[in-house]
Structure formats: structure tokens, C-alpha cells
Amino acid sequence: MQDLRQTKEWANYLSSWGWEVEEVDCQEQTKARILIRKFPFTPVSFFKLQRFFGKPNLEKILEIKKRHRVVYSIIEPLSKEGILPGYRQLSSYYVPSKTTVIDLSKPINKIFSAFSKTTRNILYKTSSVKIIETDLKTFYPAWKAASKTYVPPYSRINILLSVFGPKAKLLISQCNGKPLSGLLLLSSKDTANYFYSWTNPVGRQKNTHYYLIWQTLQDAQKNGLKYFDFEGIFDSRFPNKKWLGFSDFKKKFGGTEISYPGCFGRWF
């Protein structure tokens, strides 16, 4: 399963707003991408190495840190094997420390049967909900109007879509032509990632996001993707109560819960 943070598209996206990209050898994959950025108005830098397999080459990391004058770095490995000497566990994270993943190689009826009873009952019902792919000019205003949390600037999302190209999709559920929920889906070589989403009050009342996820799973499978990653659920090790509601929603679609070691940081 290729993580989004180790794709060339993700590196290119972050490069577009100031990050530099380096590569390091790892035991279990050819390369892992390190992202580096200077602290404003200083000659020193910060780096992050995220969602990589195996143990990275420590000598190469030290060389990169020296060359870029890195004073602080964080790593977020896929397994404990990737934790490097001198890095201490942090109480927060940059990418989710726990997620749920659906195996799309299973027959679609098996995927459906793993949904919660509530979810299956909703999807059994005949509905006027339509799922369509749309553009940012339609998606973004509806997202802004529905969201009670931070929404990235239009220009940044536009760059993200441009960099990912056909691997990015804006999907909405609608009734009578009115957007009710939305999903920004990003794909790696084998995984569809639930990246940004929103639902407005009418969409919640009509349960339209259930239909949107179900259609997305079917389409991802037809397009040859092997996994669907919900990109984060509540983790009791690093509790954030704001995550409880949408985590409960995501868990209703079954899948396998995966926990990562967390985030580790080091000065110098």
C-alpha cells in the first residue's frame, strides 16, 4: 500500500509552496522522500520524514541534516523499526496515527456485508441522491458554507488538484441539483485516500455521505485500486475529542484499523 506522503505528486505539491525534497534509502523500499523547509528569515531548516517502510539510512539522514542546517526534524514511520536514535515520542502528530483501511480486492458484496447494520439499512433504501464528479468552482463554495473548521485557501487546493491531475477527484452528493456533501479524493498507485470531506445540514439529514462513500468504493475498485484509506480516526493514545464523531462514521464502513507508532521529534 503506497502512502500518499511518499508519492511524487505529494512532494511536487509541497515543493510548490517552498519545501525542498531529498531522498534516503530504506531497508524495505528503494527510496523515501524527506521534505525540508527553512524557518522564515533564518538560515536553518526543519525536516519531516513520513509514512516510510523499514529503517532509513542514518548516515544519509545526518548528511542531509548537515547540508540543509536542519535544527529540528520529525519522523512518522509506518512501524517501530523506523524509529531512529535520539528521537523522542511527541504528544501530537502531523499525519494521523491511526486509520481504517478497506481492502478493495474483496468482492464488492463482501465489502458491503462488513458495513454496520445502520449503514446497510440506509443504502438499501431508494434515494434521490446523485453522486457526480465536479470542479473546484462548484465544490469549494459548498465546502466553505458547510464547514465549521479550517478550509485551506482556494489557490492551495487548486494547486493540489493540478499536481495530482487524474489522481485527484472532487465528488459531491446532491439532490435536486444542490450539493449536500463532498469528498476530495486523492490516489496513490494502489490506494484511494479520503482526503478532505464535508456535509451540510441537509446532507446529514438525508444521509447523503453514506451514498457518496459507497459509490466511491465501487468506483475505486473498478479503477483497479486495491485499498481505500479513510485517512485518520480517533486514537486513544493521542486523544482529540473532535475526531470522535467522524471517526464513528468512518468505522461504520468496516475495514481494518491500523495504528502507527506516532510522531517522533529531535532537535539537531
Give percent of the chain above pLDDT 90.
96
| DSSP code at position 230 | -
pLDDT at 225: 98
pLDDT at 196: 98
pTM (2 decimals)? 0.95
Decide: 143 and 172 in contact? Cβ < 8 Å.
Answer: no
Summarised one tens digit per residue, pLDDT across range 4-63 is: 999 999 999 999 999 999 999 997 657 899 999 999 999 999 999 999 999 999 999 999
Q: Is 199 helix (H, G, I), strand (E, B) or coil?
A: strand
pLDDT at 16: 95
pLDDT at 175 over 90: yes
Summarised one tens digit per residue, pLDDT across range 61-74 is: 999 999 999 999 99
pLDDT at 30: 73
* Nearest Cα residue to 235 out of 53, 91, 74: 91
Query: What is the rounded CA–CA span in Å between residue 124 and residue 203?
Result: 17
pLDDT at 127: 87
What integer best gives the mean pLDDT of the chain? 96
pLDDT at 180: 98
Summarised one tens digit per residue, pLDDT across range 200-245 is: 999 999 999 999 999 999 999 999 999 999 999 999 999 999 999 9
pLDDT at 126: 80
Summarised one tens digit per residue, pLDDT across range 156-165 is: 999 999 999 9
pLDDT at 231: 97
pLDDT at 29: 59
Residues in the chain: 268
pLDDT at 217: 98
Summarised one tens digit per residue, pLDDT across range 79-96 is: 999 999 999 999 999 999
Beta strands 178-187 and 168-175, pairing class? antiparallel
pLDDT at 108 over 80: yes
pLDDT at 106 over 70: yes
**H helix runs in 45-182, sequence order:** 58-67, 108-113, 117-124, 136-146, 154-164
